């Protein structure tokens, strides 16, 4: 079934979009250090870790040799190590991949999941709150700084502009919790997983186990649009399939938005167009008088067309969701 159907008030939506919300979470977190860490990770991730240099944050995925997504990841490059953040459900497979592909003499993998914390900062006012807190501010989007000293450092990152959050704190839980308290004292509202779900859905971002499964190609879930893949970097596992699709072909399905024409209960998750099943509903949320969601759907069903989704009439929309869908 689709990801939980969150019911969102207009006030909560405004806070997620325009306010400042701090959401504490515990995804899987790995630290990778060693002289060969960069070259090894560069040969695994869909995105480029070399070009941005130190103190950067990028989004990408680890793929099978046939180009299917195994796990998606945020990767922070620091002068002495890399911090890799993946959904908790991808912890075991990510650790196995990293240990298999990173030679111990070149790179060491530490699983910090049980000790780490990540705080996601949502909303346009998050920049002002982060600056006011005095925690430390990266110079621009896509950059990161380390604060708190050598004993318990915390990485503070500003997300790339297409991301569903504006900033992120990652480190050992006590240190991150202390800095999160400063964000709250500076005007951020404590949030929960529902806020993060709303932000990523409205931004058209996929997540592991929902829009992404073992049969998913990066281009099927908007990796081109969200900056999750580089076509100019060197080789990485699965690159041949990804590059061939980009330069010579196209995917048969794409991630698109749905706007239901009402809030009637859903029955199933199939998407029907012209008596033919063309896709599946993956995530939903209800905003007072309207329901919206993400679906994987045949590419020939274009934005603006009407479908039956979960047994109810809906319209296919382009991502990310715009003001017309949210405010109109």
pLDDT in tens, 12-57: 999 999 999 999 999 999 999 999 999 999 999 999 999 999 999 9
Residue written as token pair 């060197």: 234
59: in domain: yes
Where residue 320 sits, what CATH number does that domain have?
2.40.30.110
Confidence label for 4 from pLDDT (cuts 50, 70 and 90): low
Structure tokens at 3: 């990801």
12: in domain: no
196 backbone φψ class: left, alpha, beta (φ>0; ψ -120 to 50) = alpha
Domain boundary among 201, 228, 261: 201
206: in domain: no
Q: What is the full DSSP assignment across 177-231?
A: HHHHHHHHHTTPEE--HHHHHHHHHHTT---BTTTB-TT--GGGGTHHHHT---S
Q: How many domains does the chain have?
A: 2
Please tell me the pTM assigned to this model.
Answer: 0.95
Residue 102: pLDDT over 80:
yes
Where residue 84 sits, what CATH number does that domain have?
3.30.1360.120
- Tell me which residue range forms the domain holding 134: 20-201
Which backbone phi and psi does 323 adopt, to 5 degrees? -60, -35
Confidence label for 322 from pLDDT (cuts 50, 70 and 90): very high
Mean pLDDT of 213-240: 95
Q: What does pLDDT average to over the chain?
A: 94
Structure tokens at 16: 């997620």
Confidence label for 2 from pLDDT (cuts 50, 70 and 90): very low
Task: Count Cα neighbours of 94 within 13 Å in the Cβ-side half-sphere.
Answer: 31
9: in domain: no
239: in domain: no
Question: What pLDDT shows up at residue 149?
Answer: 75
Mean pLDDT of 251-256: 96
Give percent above pLDDT 90 in the chain: 88
């Amino acid at each position: 079934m689709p990801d939980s159907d969150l019911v969102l008030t207009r006030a909560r939506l405004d806070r997620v979009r325009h306010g400042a919300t701090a959401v504490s979470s515990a995804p899987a977190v790995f630290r990778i250090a060693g002289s060969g860490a960069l070259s090894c990770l560069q040969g695994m991730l869909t995105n480029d870790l070399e070009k941005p240099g130190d103190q950067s944050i990028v989004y990408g995925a680890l793929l099978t040799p046939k180009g299917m997504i195994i796990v998606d990841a945020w990767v922070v490059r620091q002068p002495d190590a890399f911090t890799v953040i993946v959904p908790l459900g991808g912890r075991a497979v990510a650790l196995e991949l990293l240990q298999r592909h990173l030679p111990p003499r070149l790179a060491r993998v530490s699983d910090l999941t049980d000790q780490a914390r990540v705080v996601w900062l949502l909303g346009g006012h998050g920049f002002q709150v982060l600056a006011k807190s005095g925690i430390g501010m990266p110079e621009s989007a896509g950059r990161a700084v380390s604060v708190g000293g050598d004993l318990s450092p915390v990485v503070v990152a500003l997300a790339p502009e297409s991301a569903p959050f504006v900033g992120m704190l990652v480190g050992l839980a006590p240190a991150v919790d202390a800095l999160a308290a400063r964000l709250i004292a500076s005007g951020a509202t404590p949030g929960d997983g529902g806020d993060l779900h709303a932000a990523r859905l409205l931004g058209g971002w996929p997540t592991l186990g929902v829009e992404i499964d073992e049969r998913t190609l990066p281009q099927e879930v908007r990796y081109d649009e969200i900056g999750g893949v580089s076509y100019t970097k060197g080789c990485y596992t699965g690159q041949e399939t990804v590059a061939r699709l980009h330069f010579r072909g196209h995917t048969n399905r794409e991630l698109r938005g749905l706007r239901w024409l009402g809030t009637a209960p859903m029955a199933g998750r199939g998407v029907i167009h012209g008596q033919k099943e063309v896709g599946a509903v993956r995530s939903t949320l209800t905003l007072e008088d309207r329901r919206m969601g993400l679906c994987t759907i045949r590419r020939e069903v274009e934005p603006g067309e009407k479908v039956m989704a979960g047994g109810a009439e809906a319209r296919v929309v382009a991502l990310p969701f715009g003001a017309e869908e949210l405010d109109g």
